[in-house]
Structure 1
Amino acid sequence: MDQLAEQISSACQVALDPSPNVAQEQRHGAYAFLQQVKDASQETWQACWKLFLERGDGGASNEARMFALQVVTEALPSLGADALAVLQTSLFEYFSREFVQGSAENGVAFVKNAVTHFAAAVFLYTYPAIAPTFFSSLLALLRTYPPSFPVPTTSTSSAPLNPQTTDLFLRILHEVSLEISDAQLRLNKSSQRLSKDTELRDAIRENDAASIAGAIWGVIGEAVAGVDVPDEAGDAGRVGLKGKTAREVAEMAVRVAGDYVSWIDINLMVTPATIGLLLQCINLPSPLTITIRSATADTLIETVGKGMPASDKLKLFEVLDVGTLLAALQEVGREGGKREAESEDVELLRTKLARLLNGVGTELCKIIDDSASPADAKMTASNMATSLLPLLLRFLVDPRDETSISVHPFATSILSVYKKEKKRAGAGNNMPDPTMIDSKRAFLSELLKGTVSKMAYADEAEWDLALEGEEDENQRAFDEMRKNLRVIGDAVAWIDPELYAEGVRGIILETIDLYEAGGAKDGRLSWQRIELALAMLYGFGQAISSQGPGAFVQVPVTEIQRAKREAEYRIDYTQFPLSQLGELMLRACRSKIVNYPHAAVSLQFFEVVVRYHDFFKLCPEFITELLPSFLDEHGLHQSEEAVQARVFYLFSRFIHQAKGIVQSQVSGDLVRSILTGMQDLLVVNAALPDSEPPSELVLTKAAGTTSFFDAQLYVFETAGTLISILNQIPDQQVVLLKAVLDPLLADLQNNVRPTASTPEDFNAIFKAHHLIMAAASVAKGFPDLSARSPTASGAWVDVFVSATETILASAKVMSSFVVIRDAARFAFNRIVATTGQAVLPLIPTFIDCLVGQITFPELADLLSFLGLLVAKYKTNFLEILDTLLLPVVNRVFHFLSLPIAGTDDMVQHSTLRRAYFNFILSIAGANLQEVFYSDKNKDHLQSILQSITHYIANDSLAPDQRYGFGVLNKLLLIWVDQYRPPTAPPLANGTAPPPSPVPGFERFLYEQAVKLCFEVPLKAEFDYSDAQSFQVIGEIAVLLKALLQKRGNEFVEFMTTSFFPSINCPPEASAPFMTALQEAPDGKQFKKFLGEWLRTNRGPAP
C-alpha cells in the first residue's frame, strides 16, 4: 500500500471511530482530508484503486475500501481511453481473484453491492468501444473454478455453474439494466445521458443480447434443478447450485429475466422453452420456493406487457395458457375456500397472480378495442378474455384488498368493451343492450355482487373518521378502493340499468326491511351492512344518471319533450309517482334508519340527504322530521369530533341547498327552536397550543392551521342561513340575528388587546380572531347581493352595520397582529357581499387601519378585495376609491421596491405585481378610469403609468408580463384618440370626437410600451416554448395592432422612421414586419408571425 493509500485508510479509520478517545479536531481533520481526496479524484483515483484491491490480513478495512471505490467511480468521467482500458482489465483480474479463487468478499452484502455498482459504472464508460468483451468476459467466469476444487466434468458436459461468479454475473446484469433502462431513473437524466443509454441498449442488442439471454435461461434451468438438492459443506458446497444457494440464484435470475424482457428482442426472451421454464418455476411445490414463484410472477407480468403485434401476443398467451395456470394456482393461500394464516410471501404471491391475470386481461381488451387488429385476432382475444372472467370474479372478491384491487383495471377494461359494443349497436344509457346474452348478463350480475361485497367494511373493521389532514392510511386506502369499485358498478349500470337497479335496490330494501323488523336490536343487522346499503343509495342516482327533482319521479316522456320545446314551461313533479330512487329515499326517511347507534350509519345517511336534497321538494313533510336528527346526538351533537365536524358541513350544505323548501316548511318559532338547539355550538372557545411558548409566530401558525374551529364556522353560517329566510317576519329576524351576534361581539370587546406579552394576552387575541371569523360566517349565511342589485334592505342590515363597526373598532386597536388583520379582511369581504352599500362608508377607515401594518401577501389579498368592490359597485364606489387609490398604490410601490433575495421573494413579487395589474384592470373594466386623473390623483398618473412598464420590464415572470401588457391594451382602448390628420375633412355631423381625458397617451405608448414589446421577448431568458410566454406575445400582438388601428399612418411612420432605426433593425427585417402587421385582420392573426419574427431576430438561444 503506497503512502497516499495508507493516509486515506488511516483517515477513514479516524473519521468513523465512534470512540470518545478521538479528539473532535482530529475527526474533523480526517473528514477534511477525505473531502480533498474526493475533490481531487482525477489525481487520487489510482491510489484509491490500489487501496480497494488491498484486502485480507494487513489490508484496508471494508469502510476504507468503499470510500476508495467511491472516489474511483467519481473519477471515471474524466479518465481517458487508455486509463479506462487498464482499469477495466484490472477489474476483471479482481473478479477472477476474489470470486473465482477467493471468498467473494466473504459474502458481505454492502461490499458486493458497491462492487456491482462500480462494475456497471465502468461498463457505462467502456462498452463497447473500449471493452467490447465486457459481457463475454463475465460469461467466461460462470463455470470457472480453482484447480483444487472437485469439479465434475465429462467430455460431453461442461462444469456446473460457480455459485460465486454466477451471483456476481446476475448482480451486474441487473445493475446494468437498471442504469440504462429503468423508467424511474430516466425521469432525472439529461438528454445526453438518455441518448447514451439508447446507444448502449442498441449495442447490447446487436452484440451480446443472445449470449446474455442464453446465459440467464441456462442459470434458471440449472438453479431450478438444484433447489431440492441438499446443501453440502466445504469446497463441494461451492461447486454447482444446490439447496439454499440454488433457490437464491433462481430467484435472482428470474428477476434479471424480467429486467431484460422489457427491452431486448422478445424472441430471445419469450419462446416455448423459456415460458415452459417460467411455468416450471411458478409451479414449484416446496414452501421454500415461494420467493422464486413470486419473482416468476413479476417476470411473467413484465412479459405479458411487452409491446408486440396482436398475433404474436395472442401466441404468447396461448403458450402461457394463463387461464389453466391461474385456475390451478388460484387456491394459493385460500385452500378450502378460506383465507389461511399464511406468510406475507404467500399473500404477496397471490396478489401477483392477480396482477398477472390483470395484465393478460387488459392486453386482450386492448386487442379487442384496437381498430387496427384483424377480425380473427379480435375474436380470439374476445374468447380468451371471456374464458378469464371466472378468475376475475374470484380474485375480485379476495379477502385481501391488495389482491382485489389488482384486477380492477381488467374489470373496467372488459366493461369498456361491453359499453362500446352496446354503443355500436345503437343503444345509449338507460336503454336495453341489444348485444346482451345470458352469459354476459350472468357475469355482470356476479360482478355487481362482488363489487358490492367488497365495498362493505370488514366484519372486524373499526370505523374511525379523522379530521382533515389526519386521515388513517388504511381508511384512505379503503376509500380509494370503494371509489374504484363504484366506477365498476356505474359501468355495469350503464350497460344494463335494469340489472343494476334490481341488484342494488334489493340490497337497500332488504336492509331497511330488516331494520324496521328490529334487526338492529337483536343483532341480525350490523353497522357495516347498514352503512353499505346507505353507501349504495348514495351512488344510486349517479349510477343511473338521474339528477334534479326528475330523478325521484316517473316523468312521462311527453312532459320532458314539452319542457324542451317550451322555455317557459315548468314540470310539476309532485303530480307523478315516485321513481325507484324516490321510493328508496322515501323508505330510508320513513325508517328513521339514521337513529342506528353508530356514527358511520348516521353520517352516511346525512351524506345521502345532502346529495338528494331535491327529494324534499317532492316530499317536504320529511323536513320537519329530518331537522331534529341533524340536531341530536346522531348529528351536530355527535360525540366523535371528526364526525361532528363533517356533520357541521353537511347541515350547512343541506340548509343552503334546500333553503326554499325549508323556508316553506319552517316557521319563525321552529327556526328559534333550531337555533336554541344549536346554541351550545355557537360559542367560541380558542386556546393556543401549549406545546411551545406563545408568540406572534405561534399565533399566526395556529390561526393558519386547519382545526375543528374551521368546521364550526359552518354552524355560524347555517345560523345565518336560517335567519335569512325569515324576511317575512323582520322583527323576529332581527331578534334572532342579534341573539347570535351580540354574544360574539361582546366577547370580542372583552378580548381586545393592543399588545401581547403574556400567554393570556396571546390567547385573547387568538380568541378575538375566532370571534371575528364567526361573526363574518353568520353574514356568509345570508345571500350575496348581485351586481344588478347592490343594495340590501331590511332591519337586519343595520345589525350587520353595527357589527361591522364593532369589528372595525376592535381591529384598529389590534391592527399590529396579522391574524386580526386577516380576520377583519375576511369579515369585511363577507359583510359587504351581504349588505352592499350600507357598509361601504366604513371601507376607508378599514383600509387606513390595514395599510400601515400590511405585509406583502396581505397587500395582494387587499388589492383583490378592492377589485371585487370596484367591479360590483362601480360608480357607487368611485368616491371611496378616489380616497384610497394613492395610499394603496404607494404601498405597492414600497413593497415592489424591496430587493429579491430568493425564490420566495420572487414568488411574492410576482403575486403582488399581478394583483396590482388586476386592480388597474378592474378599475378600467368598471369604467372608473377617471379616478386616475381626478384632482387628488392626476399629479401621480405619470408615476402609475411608468410603474406598469417598469414592472413589465424588470424581474417579472411571463404571467406578470402578460397581465402588464393586458393593462396597456385596456388603457390604449379607452385613452388613445383615433388619429385624424390636420387636413382631414370635418365629420358628417359637424362635430369632432371627444378628446382623450389623457391627452398624448399615445406618445407614452410610443416611447415606453412599444419599446417593451420588443425588449421583453428579445431577452435571452424569454422562453418561446413556454405557453405563458406565447400568451405574452399574444398581448403584444394585440397592442401593436390596436395602435395601428387607432393611429394609422402616424404609427407606421413612427415605427419605420424612428423606432426600428433606433434599435438597429434593418429594412429587410422591419419591412416584412410592418406588412404583416398591416395585413393582419386583428392581433390574434398577427400573433403567429410576431412570434416567429421575434425568435428569428433574437438569434440562437443561449
Structure 2
Amino acid sequence: MDEQALLGLNPNASADYRERASAYFEQLKVSHDAWQVCAEALVQRIYSDDHVKFFCFQVLEHQIKFKHSELTALQQQLIRETLMSWLQSQMLNAQPEKTFIRNKAAQVFALVFVIEYHTKWPKFFFDILSVVGLNPRGVDLYLRILMAIDAEVVDRDVIHTAEEARRNTLLKDTMRERCIPNLVESWYQILQTYQHSNSELTCQCLEVIGAYVSWIDLTLIANDRFINMLLGHLSVEVLREEACDCLYEIVNKGMDPIDKTKLVESLCQVLQSAGFFSINQEEDVDFLARFSKLVNGMGQSLIISWSKLVKAGDMKSAQDTLQSIEMKVPLMLQLLVHEDDDISSNIIGFCYEYLHILKQLAMLSNQQKANVEAVMLAVIRKLTYDDEYNFENEGEDEAMFVEYRKQLKLLLDRLAQVSPELLLSSVRRVFNNTLQNWQTAPFMEVEVAIRLLYMLGEAIPASHGAHFCGDAAKASVLQDMMRTLVTSGVSAYNHTSVALEFFETVVRYEKFFAVEPIHIPNVLMAFLDHRGLRHASPKVRSRTAYLFSRFVKTLHKQMNAFVEDILRRIQDLLELSPHANGFQTLLTSDDQLFIYETAGVLIVNSDYPAHRKHILMRNLLSPLMEKFKILLEKLMLEQDEERQSVLADCLNHAVGFASRTSKAFSNKQTVKQCGCSEVYLDCLRTFLPALSCPVQKEILRGGVRTFLHRMIICLEEEVLPFIPTASEHMLKDCEAKDLHEFIPLINQITAKFKTQVSPFLQQVFMPLLHAIFEMLIRPAEENDQSAALDKQMLRRSYFAFLQTVSGSGMSEVIANQGPENVERVLFTVIQGAVEYPDPIAQKTCFIILSKLVELWGGKDGLVGFADFVYKHIVPACFLAPLKPSFDLADAQTVLALSECAVTMKTIYIKRGPECIQYLQQEYLPSLQVAPEIIQEFCQALQQPDAKVFKNYLKVFFQRAKP
C-alpha cells in the first residue's frame, strides 16, 4: 500500500496529505484487486494505526456494496474467510479495537449477510457464534453485528426501495425459520453470564432484544425466564434504563388484544409488587423518564386493545381491559405531575387517549370524574413557569417548555370535551383565588391564572361570541372572569409574562367589551401607558403594538369618544428618527407600522364629518412629510455609505407608515368620502422626488413603488397625473430586477383604468420595451444563477404586461406603435412561446396570441395579420410542444399546452374553412404527418366542445414525440 498516502488518514495530517489519502481511496475503489491487499492487511495485522485499519474496512465495504456481483466465487469466499479470521483474531488481541473500528466491521459483516445469507452463507450466525462463544470481546462484536443487520433490514427510519423491502421480508422469514430460537438462546446466555459483571455488554444485549422483538415470535421473549431477568435489571442502576426500553419494545409489539392485555397486566403486577408504582420524587430522573415512557406504552397498548374489542363487539373483554386501564391511572397521574417536564411529557400520550375513552362513555363513575379532576389539576400545575425561565433571552430550555406547554394545551382541550362544566369551575376557582391576592402572589401563579382564562377560548369554543351572550351558564362564567381581569388592577403586575398574558386575553375576548363597554377606557389606558406600549420590556412593547391595533380594529365602533385622546397619547410613538449613536426609540419601525395603522383606523372609522377626518389625517401625516423632506435633503448630501443606508431605511419607513394608514379605508369608507384625498396627494408629491435620488436607489424606489400600488387602489384616477413622472424616474438606470418589479405597477394601472391611461401607455410602451429588450440581451457571467433568474423573471413580467394590455381592450396601444415595432413585439411573443423552456412564460405567450387572433385575426382585422397567423402563429402551436424541453408530464407545461389548444381553436373560429384547408394541404403535410392523422386532427379542431380538442392535442403530441 502507498505508505505516504496512508499518512493522510491521520486527522492531524496536513491538507495536502489528506487530499492524497482521499485520492488514494478513490484509486483503490476502482481497482480490481486492491481490496485483497486491504483484506490481507486486516488479517495479518500489518498496521497498528487505527485510521489505516478503518480505511481498510472502508475499501472492503465499497467492494461488497457496489462490486460484489463482479467477484468470482473464490473471491467471495475470500471475503468471508477474511471477516471470520479478523473476528477470531479479536479474541486474542491484548487490547480491543476502538469503537469506531468495531462499528465499521459490524457494518461490513451486515452487508455480506444481506447479500449472501440466502445463498452462500446460510450458517452466518452459527459460524459467528461458534467463534465468539461467550468471550466478552466476541460477544461485543456479535451484538454490534446484530444491530448493524437491524439497521440494514428492519429500521423503519430508513427508506427502502420496493425491491429492498421484498428482500428484507425474505431475510426475516428465513431467519425465523433457521436461527431465531438459537439467537434468542444466545441472548439469554449473554444476559445470564454478564448481568452482574459487565453492564456494557448487558445493555447492548437488551438493546438487541428491543430491536428484534418487533418481528420475532414474542413468546420467545415474553416468558418467565426473560421477564424475570429483565425485572431484576430494573433494580440495578446501570442496567435499568436499557431494561425499561427493552420492556417498552416488548409491550409495543402488535398482538391480539386479549393476549396484549394479559401481557401488560402480568408485567404490571410484577412491577407493582416490586414497588415501582410508587414514584419517589427523589428518584433518578433519567430512569424515571424511561419508566414514564414504558408506562405510557403500556397504557396506550391497553387503550388500543380496548378500542379493538369494542369494535369487535366483545364488551366483556373490553370492560376487563378498561378496568386494567383504570388501574394504571394513579401511576399515570404521579408521572404527569412530576416536577421534571421530560417525565411528565412522556406520559401525556396515555393521558390524552384515556380522556378520549372517557369522552366516549355515556356515564362517568365517581372515580372517573375524580380522575378527570386530577388530570385537570395536574395540567394547571404543570402549565406554571418555574423561577429559572428567562423571559428576556429565551434559549433551548425555554423553547422546550413552550413545546411542552403546547402538549398540555391539547390535554386541556380534551378535558373540555370530556367535561366542560368541570373545566370551567376548576379554572374559575384557580382564577378567582389568584386574582383576589395578585399583589402578593408569585408571577408564575398570576400568569397561569390568566393563561387558563385565555385557553378556555379555544378549549370551549363559542359560536359568534356566545361566551358573552346566549348560553347563560357559560357566558356568565367567562364574563365574570373577564370583569375580574379588567377591574382587579392585575394589569399593573410588574412582570413581562403577566403583562403579555393580560393583553393577549383582553384581545382574545374583545367581544366582552362590546357587551360591557364601560371597561374600555381602563383597558385603553393599560395599552397606552407603562403597562403596555411604554413598558420597560421591548418584548412587551412590541407585542402590545400589534395587539393594540387588533383591539382598536375590532372595537372601532366603541372608540368614537376616545379617538382624539388616543391620537394625542400616541403622538410621540409615531416619531420618525434614524437610529444614531446607539439611540433606540421605544418602538421598532415594524411596531410603529401597527401604531400608524391603528391611528388610521381610529380616524377613518370615527363618526366625525369628512372635514374633521381630513384635519386629523393631515395632523397624522404632516410631521411624516416634513421629516421626509429634511431626511431626503440630508441623504442627497451624505457621503458616508453607512449613514446613507440608515437615512434611506428611515425614508423607506416613512413611506411605509403613510402606506399603512391607508389600509383603514374600505369600499364603505373611501379616501374621497373621508375627505382625505388631498392629504395622500401631498404624500405622493413629497415621496416622488426620492425616485430621482442618485444613491440607495433600490430601497427608495421599492418603497415609493409600493406606495403607488396602494394609492392606485385608494385614490383611483386622482393618482394618474403622477404616473408618467414616476415611470420616467423608475425606468432610468434600472436593472433587470427593477424592471421586473416596475411592470406589475403598469399592469395594475392598465387593468384598473383601461382606456383612461391609453395616451400614457402609447407614450411609455416602446421606451419600456426598449429597456426590457436591452436588459435581456445584456451579457452575463455563464454561471451567474442570480442574473439568469432575474432575466427569466423579467421575461415573464414582459409577457404578463403584453397580456394585460391585450386583455384590457387596449390592443390599439400595440397596433399604433408602427409596423416594424408591432412586428418586433409579435416576434418576441412567438419566441417566448417556442424557444424558452419556461412553461409559465409559454402559457402567457399563447394567451396573448389567442387574444390577438381574436382581435385582429378576422376578415377585417389588422392589415397583414392573417399572413402572420399562418406563417408564425400556427407553426408556433406545433413547434413549441415538439421541443424536447416541453415536458408533458409537468403540470405547468400541460397548462401551456391547454392555451396552445385555445390559440388553435381561436384561429379556426376566426378563419374558418381557410384554416382547415391550410392545415390539410400545406402545413401538416410539410411536417410529414400521415394523411389519416391530418384528417383526425382537423376533425378534432372542428368539434364544438373546446375540451375535446384540448384532450386530443395532448394525445397528438404524446404520439408525435420521439
Output the TM-score relative to the length of structure 1: 0.77
Against the structure 1 CA distance between its residues 555 and 451, is the aligned structure 2 distance closer, same or farther, given a 3 Å change threshold?
A: closer
Question: How far apart, in 1, do the equivalents of 2:155 and 2:582 lie?
Answer: 47
Give the conservation status (yes or no) of the 8 Å contact 1:744–1:771: no
Q: Equivalent residue for 1:48?
A: 38
Against the structure 1 CA distance between its residues 1004 and 626, is the aligned structure 2 distance closer, same or farther, given a 3 Å change threshold?
A: farther
CA-to-aligned-CA distance 1:186-215 (integer Å, 9 cap, x gap): 2xx6x4xx52x2343234234333454324
Residue of structure 2 aligned with 1:209, choices 176, 192, 195: 176
Q: Equivalent residue for 2:83?
A: 92
Q: Equivalent residue for 1:149?
A: none
- CA shift for structure 1 position 178: 0.9
CA-to-aligned-CA distance 1:630-667 (integer Å, 9 cap, x gap): 111111112211221111111122222322322x3324
Q: Equivalent residue for 2:725?
A: 845
Question: How far apart, in 1, do the equivalents of 2:801 and 2:292 lie?
Answer: 57
Matched AA of 1:94: S
Against the structure 1 CA distance between its residues 913 and 398, is the aligned structure 2 distance closer, same or farther, given a 3 Å change threshold?
A: farther
Residue of structure 2 aligned with 1:324, choices 247, 263, 268: 268
- 1:183 partnered with 2:101: no
Q: Equivalent residue for 1:68?
A: 56
Taking the TM superposition and a 5 Å limit, the aligned residue runs for 1:279-318 are 280-290=229-239, 293-307=240-254, 312-318=256-262
Matched AA of 1:65: K
- 1:12 partnered with 2:3: no
Matched AA of 1:44: A
Question: How far apart, in 1, do the equivalents of 2:127 and 2:714 lie?
Answer: 82
Give the conservation status (yes or no) of the 8 Å contact 1:492–1:500: yes
CA-to-aligned-CA distance 1:759-797 (integer Å, 9 cap, x gap): 844324323322332343233223466689986255533
Give the conservation status (yes or no) of the 8 Å contact 1:355–1:407: yes
- CA shift for structure 1 position 747: 3.4
Q: Equivalent residue for 2:106?
A: 116
Q: Equivalent residue for 1:607?
A: 504
Against the structure 1 CA distance between its residues 929 and 325, is the aligned structure 2 distance closer, same or farther, given a 3 Å change threshold?
A: farther
Taking the TM superposition and a 5 Å limit, the aligned residue runs for 1:831-870 are 831-870=711-750
Give the conservation status (yes or no) of the 8 Å contact 1:1056–1:1070: yes
Matched AA of 1:640: S
Q: Equivalent residue for 2:814?
A: 932
Q: Equivalent residue for 1:257?
A: 209
Against the structure 1 CA distance between its residues 527 and 918, is the aligned structure 2 distance closer, same or farther, given a 3 Å change threshold?
A: farther
Q: Equivalent residue for 1:427?
A: none
- 1:621 partnered with 2:518: yes
CA-to-aligned-CA distance 1:698-724 (integer Å, 9 cap, x gap): xxxxxxxxx943233222333333343
Q: Equivalent residue for 1:166?
A: 139
Question: How far apart, in 2, do the equivalents of 1:778 and 1:330 lie?
Answer: 72
CA-to-aligned-CA distance 1:203-260 (integer Å, 9 cap, x gap): 423433345432442233223323454xxxxxxxxxxxxx12xx22222222223333
Residue of structure 1 aligned with 2:470, choices 554, 578, 584: 554
* Higher helix fraction (1 or 2): 2
Taking the TM superposition and a 5 Å limit, the aligned residue runs for 1:551-590 are 551-554=467-470, 579-590=476-487
- CA shift for structure 1 position 743: 3.7
Against the structure 1 CA distance between its residues 595 and 1056, is the aligned structure 2 distance closer, same or farther, given a 3 Å change threshold?
A: farther
- 1:1066 partnered with 2:930: yes
Question: How far apart, in 2, do the equivalents of 1:1048 and 1:329 lie?
Answer: 93
Against the structure 1 CA distance between its residues 49 and 286, is the aligned structure 2 distance closer, same or farther, given a 3 Å change threshold?
A: same
Q: Equivalent residue for 2:297?
A: 356
Question: How far apart, in 1, do the equivalents of 2:221 and 2:9 lie?
Answer: 56
Question: How far apart, in 1, do the equivalents of 2:329 and 2:404 lie?
Answer: 20
Q: Note the aligned Cα RMSD (angstroms).
A: 4.0
Give the conservation status (yes or no) of the 8 Å contact 2:839–2:892: yes
Question: How far apart, in 2, do the equivalents of 1:505 and 1:858 lie?
Answer: 58
Against the structure 1 CA distance between its residues 1065 and 622, is the aligned structure 2 distance closer, same or farther, given a 3 Å change threshold?
A: farther
Matched AA of 1:636: L
Taking the TM superposition and a 5 Å limit, the aligned residue runs for 1:334-413 are 335-336=279-280, 338=281, 340=282, 342=284, 345-357=286-298, 359-360=300-301, 363-364=304-305, 367=308, 384-413=324-353
Q: Which secondary structure does the structure 2 equivalent of 1:504 belong to?
A: helix
- 1:248 partnered with 2:200: yes
Give the conservation status (yes or no) of the 8 Å contact 2:655–2:704: no
Against the structure 1 CA distance between its residues 651 and 1095, is the aligned structure 2 distance closer, same or farther, given a 3 Å change threshold?
A: same
Give the conservation status (yes or no) of the 8 Å contact 1:606–1:650: yes
Question: How far apart, in 1, do the equivalents of 2:819 and 2:556 lie?
Answer: 49
Against the structure 1 CA distance between its residues 617 and 911, is the aligned structure 2 distance closer, same or farther, given a 3 Å change threshold?
A: farther
Give the conservation status (yes or no) of the 8 Å contact 2:636–2:693: no
Give the conservation status (yes or no) of the 8 Å contact 2:805–2:811: yes
- CA shift for structure 1 position 328: 3.0
Question: How far apart, in 2, do the equivalents of 1:627 and 1:1058 lie?
Answer: 79
Question: How far apart, in 2, do the equivalents of 1:855 and 1:397 lie?
Answer: 62
Against the structure 1 CA distance between its residues 652 and 274, is the aligned structure 2 distance closer, same or farther, given a 3 Å change threshold?
A: same
Question: How far apart, in 1, do the equivalents of 2:866 and 2:407 lie?
Answer: 60
Question: How far apart, in 2, do the equivalents of 1:381 and 1:1008 lie?
Answer: 77
Residue of structure 1 aligned with 2:130, choices 129, 134, 140: 140
Q: Equivalent residue for 1:807?
A: 687
Q: Equivalent residue for 1:222?
A: 189
Q: Equivalent residue for 2:698?
A: 818
Q: Equivalent residue for 2:562?
A: 666
- CA shift for structure 1 position 171: 0.9
Question: How far apart, in 2, do the equivalents of 1:377 and 1:895 lie?
Answer: 78
Taking the TM superposition and a 5 Å limit, the aligned residue runs for 1:667-746 are 667-668=563-564, 670-676=565-571, 679-686=572-579, 708-725=588-605, 728=608, 733-746=613-626
- CA shift for structure 1 position 733: 4.4
Against the structure 1 CA distance between its residues 620 and 214, is the aligned structure 2 distance closer, same or farther, given a 3 Å change threshold?
A: same
Matched AA of 1:316: K
Q: Equivalent residue for 1:464?
A: 391
Question: How far apart, in 2, do the equivalents of 1:940 and 1:917 lie?
Answer: 16
More displaced stretch, 317-326 vs 592-601: 317-326
Against the structure 1 CA distance between its residues 183 and 627, is the aligned structure 2 distance closer, same or farther, given a 3 Å change threshold?
A: same
- CA shift for structure 1 position 619: 2.3
- CA shift for structure 1 position 162: 2.2
Question: How far apart, in 2, do the equivalents of 1:183 and 1:896 lie?
Answer: 50
Q: Equivalent residue for 1:828?
A: 708
Give the conservation status (yes or no) of the 8 Å contact 1:832–1:839: yes
- 1:948 partnered with 2:864: no
Give the conservation status (yes or no) of the 8 Å contact 1:932–1:938: no
- 1:592 partnered with 2:489: yes
Q: Equivalent residue for 1:698?
A: none
Give the conservation status (yes or no) of the 8 Å contact 2:279–2:335: no
Question: How far apart, in 2, do the equivalents of 1:313 and 1:871 lie?
Answer: 66
Q: Equivalent residue for 1:150?
A: none
- CA shift for structure 1 position 124: 4.2
- 1:644 partnered with 2:541: yes
- CA shift for structure 1 position 170: 1.4
Matched AA of 1:946: F
Identity of aligned residues (%): 22
Question: How far apart, in 2, do the equivalents of 1:202 and 1:13 lie?
Answer: 43
Against the structure 1 CA distance between its residues 284 and 863, is the aligned structure 2 distance closer, same or farther, given a 3 Å change threshold?
A: same
Q: Equivalent residue for 1:765?
A: 645
Matched AA of 2:42: F
Give the conservation status (yes or no) of the 8 Å contact 1:69–1:118: yes
Output the TM-score relative to the length of structure 2: 0.88
CA-to-aligned-CA distance 1:57-85 (integer Å, 9 cap, x gap): xx352222222332333233235231641
Question: How far apart, in 2, do the equivalents of 1:897 and 1:599 lie?
Answer: 57
Matched AA of 1:828: L
Question: How far apart, in 2, do the equivalents of 1:252 and 1:403 lie?
Answer: 24
- CA shift for structure 1 position 314: 3.8
Matched AA of 1:532: V
Aligned pairs, number: 954
Matched AA of 1:520: W
Matched AA of 1:225: Q
Unaligned runs of 5+ in 2: none
Q: Which secondary structure does the structure 2 equivalent of 1:865 belong to?
A: helix
Matched AA of 1:684: S
Q: Which secondary structure does the structure 1 equivalent of 2:128 belong to?
A: helix
Q: Which secondary structure does the structure 2 equivalent of 1:666 belong to?
A: helix
Q: Which secondary structure does the structure 2 equivalent of 1:635 belong to?
A: coil
- CA shift for structure 1 position 1075: 4.8
